[in-house]
Amino acid sequence: RAEAQAMTDEIKQAMALLGGIFDWDAAHLRLDELNALAEDPALWNKPANAQNIMQERTRLEQALASFKRLEQELEDACTLVELGESEGDEPTVEEGLAALRLIHAETEKRQLESLLSGEADANDAVYGLFLDRFFTGSHLTSPQSFLRLPEGAGGCPKGQSLSDYCT
């Protein structure tokens, strides 16, 4: 079926992009290093360091397992579609297509997540966005808006905020 083939091609392309940003050999080596560190009783002498190592290990394990799971689900869905087509079993074909749609949605979500991911993503951030002017009746008196951060934030001199530079 054209629909199944098109979805499969899109999923494989997305997975190639997702996998392409992931150095598999380095990831497995790093996971081995982290596992060895986690088994060392001396690791727990420095709780902050131990926490960082365990968090990195967990993130890496989850990323590897998740990608392998997606690969297996894609293979299973393609097999269902092929089996259903060869047997003339429309419900099996539809089951495979439904699985492909779910996998397609998940790969799209992961592509977005990978675009938004970065070194500081696990950190908390708080900011406020305020309108400089308010609506008056049905008219916007000024479309200008700015970011208001705490004093000294964002590299601003003490006593000033980014909003001082946006007006």
Q: pLDDT digits over 98-155, tens only?
A: 999 999 999 888 888 777 765 445 544 444 343 433 444 444 444 333 344 444 444 4
Buried-state track 65-84, b at ≥16 Cβ within 10 A, e below 16: eebeebeebbeebbebbeeb
Q: For the chain, what percent of residues have pLDDT higher than 70?
A: 67
**CA 127: distance to chain centroid?**
21
pLDDT at 21: 58
Q: What is the pLDDT of residue 159?
A: 52
How much is the pLDDT for 23?
72
Residue 146 CA from chain centroid, whole number: 28
Please report where in the chains the tokens 């799971």 appear, as a residue. 69
pTM (2 decimals)?
0.59
Q: Residue 128 forms beta bridges with which residues?
A: 148
Which segment of 51-65, 68-82, 85-99, 144-158 scores lowest on mean pLDDT?
144-158
pLDDT value of residue 31? 92
